[in-house]
Structure 1
Amino acid sequence: MQKPQLDQLLNAMWQDYLELNPDAQRIYNLFASHNNDQVINDHIALRTFQHPKVTIDKVARPFLAAGYQESGEYHFPEKKLYAKHFQHKDISLPKVFISELCLDQLSSQSKQTIENLLQYLDSNSLLQDNFCYSGRHWPLTLSTYQQLLEESEYAAWTAAFGYRPNHFTVLVNALRSHQTLQEVNHFLQQEGFTLNSSGGLIKGSPDVFLEQSSTLANKVEVAFDDTTAVIPSCFYEFALRYPMADGELYQGFVAASADKIFESTNVKIAMGN
Structure 2
Amino acid sequence: MERVEQLFNALWQDYTQRLCPSAAQVHALLTEDEPLLNDHIALRTFNLPKVGLDKLAAPFIAIGYKPCGQYRFETKKLYAEHFEHPNPEAPKVFISELMVGQCSAQLQQALRELVDQAPEAALRDPSFLYGGRLWDIDSETYEMLAAESEYAGWVAAHGFGANHFTVSINQLEQFTEVRDVNHLLRHNGFAINESGGEVKGDPEVMLEQSSTMADRVAVGFLDGVKHIPGGFYEFAKRYPQADGELYRGFVAASADKIFESTN
Q: Return the alpha-carbon distance in structure 2 between the equivalents of residues 221 and 126 of structure 1.
A: 24
Q: Return the alpha-carbon distance in structure 1 between the equivalents of residues 28 and 210 of structure 2.
A: 18
- The aligned length equals 262
Confirm or deny that 1:259 pairs with 2:256.
Answer: yes
Equivalent residues in 2 for 1:11-50 (5 A)?
Answer: 11-19=9-17, 20-32=19-31, 35-50=32-47
Q: Return the alpha-carbon distance in structure 2 between the equivalents of residues 104 and 211 of structure 1.
A: 32
8 Å contact from structure 2 (residues 4, 90) kept in 1: no
More displaced stretch, 95-104 vs 117-126? 117-126
Equivalent residue for 2:202, pick from 205, 219, 232: 205
More displaced stretch, 246-255 vs 118-127? 118-127
Amino acid at match of 2:22: D
Tell me how far 1:45 sits from its aligned partner: 0.5
Partner residue in 1 for 2:189 = 192
SS of residue paired to 2:162: coil
TM-score (norm 1): 0.94
Deviation string 1:211-249 (CA, Å, 9 cap, x unpaired) is 100000001111100111110000000000011111111
Tell me how far 1:37 sits from its aligned partner: 3.6
Partner residue in 1 for 2:152 = 155
Q: Return the alpha-carbon distance in structure 2 between the equivalents of residues 134 and 25 of structure 1.
A: 19
SS of residue paired to 1:92: coil
8 Å contact from structure 1 (residues 145, 160) kept in 2: yes
Q: Return the alpha-carbon distance in structure 1 between the equivalents of residues 182 and 230 of structure 2.
A: 21
8 Å contact from structure 1 (residues 48, 100) kept in 2: yes
Amino acid at match of 1:25: A
Gaps of 5+ in 2: none
SS of residue paired to 1:47: strand
SS of residue paired to 2:241: coil
Partner residue in 1 for 2:217 = 220
Q: Return the alpha-carbon distance in structure 1 between the equivalents of residues 176 and 3 of structure 2.
A: 33
Q: Return the alpha-carbon distance in structure 2 between the equivalents of residues 46 and 154 of structure 1.
A: 11
SS of residue paired to 1:188: helix
Tell me how far 1:168 sits from its aligned partner: 0.3
SS of residue paired to 1:60: helix
Deviation string 1:133-186 (CA, Å, 9 cap, x unpaired) is 011011100000000011000000000000111100000001111011111111
SS of residue paired to 2:191: coil
Equivalent residues in 2 for 1:1-273 (5 A)?
Answer: 3-19=1-17, 20-32=19-31, 35-266=32-263
TM-score (norm 2): 0.98
8 Å contact from structure 1 (residues 85, 98) kept in 2: yes
Deviation string 1:75-134 (CA, Å, 9 cap, x unpaired) is 000100000000001011100100000001100100110001010012222221211101
Identity of aligned residues (%): 52
RMSD: 0.8
Deviation string 1:42-66 (CA, Å, 9 cap, x unpaired) is 0010000011111111111111000
Tell me how far 1:9 sits from its aligned partner: 1.3
